[in-house]
Amino acid sequence: MTDASQYPVLAAGGVWAWGPVEWRFIPYVEELDELVSNVLLVPFSRQRVVLVRLRSGHLTFPGGTLEPGEHWVSTALREAREEAGLRLRDLHPFGMFLCRQPQRYREHLPHPEARRVVAWSEAWVDGEPLSLPGAEDVAEVLLVAPDEAASLLTADGRPEQAELGLMAAAERPRLSDEAFFRDNRLLLEHAYLSQSDPYAQSGKSGGAAGWELARRFTAGAIHRDGTFLDLGCANGMLMESMVEWALHDRGRELQPYGLDISEALVRLARRRLPLWSDRIWVGNAWDWTPPRRFDFVHALPELVPDRLRGRWLGRLLSEFLEPGGRLLLRWGDPHPPDPDRRRLRDVLAGAGFEPDGELVQERPAEPAVRVAWLTKKSPSPLAGEMAPPGAGGGRPPSSA
């Protein structure tokens, strides 16, 4: 239930006169996504929120209406770009408007009942509003403190949006681990599945050439024959590619495996790679128990928040890898969605690790891509047990 003492407008519900649309606000429930018609974003750029001022003079948060066949996640990514020139680093739904309206707005939208998702996001401005035909005509993008945004929206006759901004600011530092992983799955699942290109379905635009430039150099870290597990395997494209690249570039034979948190992406990967379908699993590496150990595990450090990264890396080293195996960590360097544009070594040092080796791939007009690896130490012949690494594997950061 919404706290009426903090958010009286949202707790009471109401009617938007332009429909008229009767609405009631509830916490976000993924199972109710089927009847979603619209999405509203509360984007944060560091400690400020993003508002757009329309040509009419009115203020609002970015958002919009789902296109035919579109999931609200894809709508959020598209509308953020079109209305405010924003790229979203993540997406965290925290509420829904349950709506009822007498007239159908568009033929493809649910009627008479519909839902509007409200989500907050970490974002950065790297463009201008597009003001496409039929879209909101945006005159200005504003970055203001949450309290100031609430005052401006209230004065503009949008008290429910004022409270949404304050609620998002309060929810932001309290995001649970469970919600983080759910939201990460939602974002990647629907962003990838909205694409028809197999490379984009695995997280890389630019077709085959862009894929090879940003990924193929990873094969340089393959130092022996063995098994290769891709964490966050999406449609299985990297599993497939690494078998070819390791053999061609390194003369090494790999047996590929995959894990993804999304059941929908795993189904896609199994359809694409039927010979390996029994090697592709659904699970979250944070708490999933692997059925075997692997010689190579490939992972993306941004898959977990900063506060969990050290424990996550330690778990991968101790429970996923064979002795002498390598945990391969890939990172755009500096990482474009990171507001501080941190380097991979800085991120690993913050988690208590120093890499045992690394490779870098420069790219024109884009950040370089870097792969660093942590090695699982072989059993000590004297102690008869795993030699203690700095924080679960790799080398502890030097004091220099």
Same domain, 208 and 148: no
Contact 39, 47 (CB under 8 A): no
CATH number at residue 59: 3.90.79.10
**Position with higher pLDDT, 52 vs 396:** 52
pLDDT tens sequence across 39-63: 999 999 989 999 999 999 999 999 9
Residue 391 falls within a domain, yes or no? no
Same domain, 219 and 355: yes
Q: What are 354's strand-pairing partners?
A: 395
* Over residues 8-30, mean pLDDT: 95
Same domain, 125 and 45: yes
Split at pLDDT 50, 70, 90, the class of 380 is: low
Same domain, 112 and 256: no
Structural domain for 315, as ranges: 200-375
Same domain, 287 and 326: yes
Residue 254 falls within a domain, yes or no? yes
Residue 187 falls within a domain, yes or no? no
Residue 77 falls within a domain, yes or no? yes
Same domain, 242 and 298: yes
pLDDT tens sequence across 284-334: 999 999 999 999 999 999 889 999 999 999 999 999 999 999 999 999 877
What pLDDT is recorded for position 266?
98
From CA 315, how far away is CA 320, in angstroms rounded? Answer: 7
Same domain, 218 and 114: no
| Count of structural domains, the chain | 2
Characterize 57-73 residue by residue with b for buried, 16 or more Cβ atoms within 10 angstroms of its Cβ, and e for exposed.
eebbbbbbbbeeebbbb
Same domain, 216 and 318: yes
Q: What are 98's strand-pairing partners?
A: 24, 115
What pLDDT is recorded for position 383?
46
Split at pLDDT 50, 70, 90, the class of 130 is: confident
DSSP 324-364: EEEEEEEEEES-TTSTT---HHHHHHHTT-B-SEEEEEEET
pLDDT above 90 for 165 = yes
pLDDT tens sequence across 96-116: 999 999 988 899 999 999 999
Tokens, residue 255: 């047996």
201: Cβ–Cβ under 8 A, 6 or more apart, which residues? 192, 193, 195, 234, 235, 237, 268
Residue 216 falls within a domain, yes or no? yes
Same domain, 145 and 216: no
pLDDT above 80 for 274 = yes
CATH number at residue 292: 3.40.50.150
Split at pLDDT 50, 70, 90, the class of 396 is: very low
What pLDDT is recorded for position 111?
94
Helix (H) or strand (E) holding 272: helix 263-272
Same domain, 86 and 214: no
pLDDT above 90 for 392 = no
Split at pLDDT 50, 70, 90, the class of 33 is: very high
* Over residues 257-275, mean pLDDT: 97
Residue 185 falls within a domain, yes or no? no
Same domain, 217 and 259: yes
Same domain, 73 and 136: yes
Closest C-alpha among 193, 197, 196, 194 to residue 210: 197
Residue 304 falls within a domain, yes or no? yes
Tell me, what amino acid is at 308? Answer: L
pLDDT tens sequence across 185-229: 999 999 999 999 999 999 888 899 999 999 999 999 999 999 999
Rounded to 10 degrees, what is the CA torsion of 2, 7, 11, 13? -140
From CA 142, how far away is CA 58, in angstroms rounded? Answer: 12
Split at pLDDT 50, 70, 90, the class of 393 is: low
Residue 380 falls within a domain, yes or no? no
pTM of the model: 0.88
Per the prediction, the chain carries an average pLDDT of 91
Split at pLDDT 50, 70, 90, the class of 280 is: very high
241: Cβ–Cβ under 8 A, 6 or more apart, which residues? 211, 215, 216
